[in-house]
Amino acid sequence: MAGLLDGKVAIVTGAGHGIGRGHALELARHGASVVVNDLGTSVHGEGRGRDADEVVDIITSRGGKAAADYGDVSSEADVEAMVKTALDDFGQLDIVVNNAGIVRDKVIWNMGVDDFDLVMAVHVRGTWLLSRAAARHWRQVAKASAEPSVYGRLINTTSGAGLSGNFGQSNYAAAKAAIVGMTLTISLELASIGVTANVIGPGGRTRISSTMPGAEAPKDFDPTDDSEFDPLDPTLSAPVVAWLASPEADHVSGQVIKAFSESIQLMGGWRAEATVNNGGQRWDATKLGALFATDVFKTRAPGLRLGS
Ligand SMILES: NC(=O)c1ccc[n+]([C@@H]2O[C@H](COP(=O)([O-])OP(=O)(O)OC[C@H]3O[C@@H](n4cnc5c(N)ncnc54)[C@H](O)[C@@H]3O)[C@@H](O)[C@H]2O)c1
């Protein structure tokens, strides 16, 4: 049976565990060759290891193609090397899934600058570095080609914290919101060469979610195992990522799609909930209280509008 991603080459970052592991196994199941990146670090970003190896072994034992990469997504040199691995080992680069992540949760008054900087470095700088490297590569391919567009799929990762905020995560929420703005911008910048850029909001029981009070211990899941449905299986977003990475999704770009448990949700962006107009005059701060109550928050009935 032809695979949805036959002949395609993907990089998945942070693919040694949890959600990224699921993406890598699912992309490989559909025929993609996968560079399995993972720094092999703790959930708080300490240490490094060869956690990518097990995922590579699983893919190759199933007849797929994969290469391990132990680089740090926040290092420019490591990210360049990751792209080189895709090109040297598999001859091309079609799909990039920026998924690597860590957490360093604390309420803002207890959070150190190092906790802020490391979370921003892994999520924002890391996502930006690999997005940039892929964009440069796809533009080069486009320039050298007679075709008007090239094959390129960029899928970056947000979270509920970035979309709505979460207690104790001012660093992580800022990073995950930044990834949304970054990806929407890249989707505009790459549209003319046919490359799509979207955001996935995954979820599930992983090392990251197990840092929440009362959460269950993480467990490795396999997206190819259909024997039982676990609503906290972190690989449940992997089929959506595989589809976004596929030729079928060539019309989908600049979207934020949450996919966890049994639901897929297309997220709506910020929009004006209420608009008041000053009729070409400067606002008067002393009159804004009444205006906000009646016409913005609508917490007070307007009653008679004197002077109108
Ligand atoms: N678990 C959830 O409920 C949830 C919800 C929303 C979003 N997310 C996001 O999903 C992504 C994956 O998280 P997860 O829950 O699977 O956690 P996880 O800890 O199981 O996996 C994250 C992986 O990223 C790797 N990593 C960390 N820093 C790295 C770096 N600098 N370079 C390369 N690899 C690095 C880790 O070694 C780890 O294998 C993250 O971006 C996270 O923010 C998770």
pLDDT digit string (tens) for 136-185?
Answer: 999 999 999 998 899 999 999 999 999 999 999 999 999 999 999 999 99
Instruction: Please indicate, yes or no, if residue 246 is contained in any of the structural domains.
Output: yes
Q: What is the mean pLDDT of the chain?
A: 96
Q: 285 Cβ partners below 8 Å, 6+ apart?
A: none
Angle between helices 126-144 and 76-90 (to 10 degrees): 40
Q: Is 198 in the pocket of ligand 1 (CB under 6 A)?
A: no
Q: At 256, is the secondary structure helix, strand, or coil?
A: strand
Instruction: Please indicate, yes or no, if residue 99 is contained in any of the structural domains.
Output: yes
Q: Is 237 in the pocket of ligand 1 (CB under 6 A)?
A: no
Claim: this prediction has a pTM higher than 0.75 = yes
Query: Do residues 165 and 299 share a domain?
Result: no
Distances in whole angstroms, Cα of residue 281 to Cα of each of 141, 278, 284? 52, 5, 9
Q: Categorize the per-residue pLDDT at 305 as very low, low, confident or very high, splitting at 50, 70 and 90.
A: confident
Interatomic CA distance for residues 67 and 37, integer angstroms: 8
Query: Do residues 53 and 92 share a domain?
Result: yes
Q: What is the pLDDT of residue 64?
A: 98
**How many A from CA of 194 to the centre of ligand 1?**
28
Number of domains in the chain: 2
Beta bridge partners of 198: 155
Given the structure tokens 């600049």, which residue do they identify? Answer: 254
Mean pLDDT of 210-225: 87
Given the structure tokens 């992540």, which residue do they identify? Answer: 101
Q: Categorize the per-residue pLDDT at 308 as very low, low, confident or very high, splitting at 50, 70 and 90.
A: low
Name the closest-CA residue to atom 43, ligand 1.
101
Instruction: Please indicate, yes or no, if residue 123 is contained in any of the structural domains.
Output: yes
Query: Do residues 214 and 299 share a domain?
Result: no
Q: Where are the alpha helices (DSSP H) in the chain?
A: 18-29, 52-61, 76-90, 113-120, 126-144, 160-164, 170-190, 238-244, 288-291
Query: Do residues 251 and 288 share a domain?
Result: no
**How many A from CA of 110 to the centre of ligand 1?**
23
Q: What is the pLDDT of residue 178?
A: 98
Query: Do residues 171 and 291 share a domain?
Result: no
**How many A from CA of 17 to the centre of ligand 1?**
7
Q: What is the pLDDT of residue 304?
A: 79
155 contacts 95 by C-beta, under 8 angstroms: yes
**How many A from CA of 18 to the centre of ligand 1?**
7
* 3-state DSSP of 191-213: HHHCCEEEEEECCCCCCCHHHCC
Task: Give me the half-sphere count of Cα atoms (radius 13 Å) on the Cβ side of residue 82.
Answer: 35
DSSP secondary-structure letter at 216? Answer: P
Query: Do residues 276 and 261 share a domain?
Result: no
Share of the chain above pLDDT 70, in %: 99
Instruction: Please indicate, yes or no, if residue 213 is contained in any of the structural domains.
Output: yes
The domain containing residue 177 runs over which residues? 9-266
Name the closest-CA residue to atom 30, ligand 1.
72
Query: Do residues 248 and 307 share a domain?
Result: no
Q: 305 Cβ partners below 8 Å, 6+ apart?
A: none
Backbone angles phi, psi at 258, to 5 degrees: -85, 135
Which atom of ligand 1 is nearest the CA belonging to 161?
6
Mutate to test the pocket of ligand 1, among 41, 74, 123 (most ligand atoms within 8 A of CB): 41
Name the closest-CA residue to atom 27, ligand 1.
101
Instruction: Please indicate, yes or no, if residue 211 is contained in any of the structural domains.
Output: yes
Mean pLDDT of 273-284: 96
Q: What CATH number is associated with residue 106?
A: 3.40.50.720
Interatomic CA distance for residues 13 and 158, integer angstroms: 14
Q: Is 16 in the pocket of ligand 1 (CB under 6 A)?
A: yes
**Radius of gyration of the chain measured on its C-alpha atoms:** 22
Q: Categorize the per-residue pLDDT at 307 as very low, low, confident or very high, splitting at 50, 70 and 90.
A: low
Query: Do residues 228 and 300 share a domain?
Result: no
Report how far Cα 301 is from the mean position of its chain's Cα atoms.
43
Instruction: Please indicate, yes or no, if residue 4 is contained in any of the structural domains.
Output: no
Question: Tens digit of pLDDT for each residue in 45-54?
Answer: 999 999 999 9
Q: What is the pLDDT of residue 1?
A: 64
Share of the chain above pLDDT 90, in %: 90
Instruction: Please indicate, yes or no, if residue 36 is contained in any of the structural domains.
Output: yes
Query: Do residues 276 and 238 share a domain?
Result: no
Mutate to test the pocket of ligand 1, among 17, 117, 222, 241 (most ligand atoms within 8 A of CB): 17
Q: At 266, is the secondary structure helix, strand, or coil?
A: strand
Query: Do residues 253 and 292 share a domain?
Result: no
Q: Categorize the per-residue pLDDT at 306 as very low, low, confident or very high, splitting at 50, 70 and 90.
A: low
Query: Do residues 251 and 276 share a domain?
Result: no
The neighbour count for residue 306, using CB atoms within 10 Å, is 5
CA-based nearest residue to 155, from 254, 87, 233: 254
Q: Categorize the per-residue pLDDT at 214 as very low, low, confident or very high, splitting at 50, 70 and 90.
A: confident
| Catalytic positions, written as ranges | 159, 172, 176
Instruction: Please indicate, yes or no, if residue 2 is contained in any of the structural domains.
Output: no
Q: What is the pLDDT of residue 47?
A: 98
Mean pLDDT of 113-123: 98
Q: What is the pLDDT of residue 219?
A: 84
Query: Do residues 170 and 298 share a domain?
Result: no
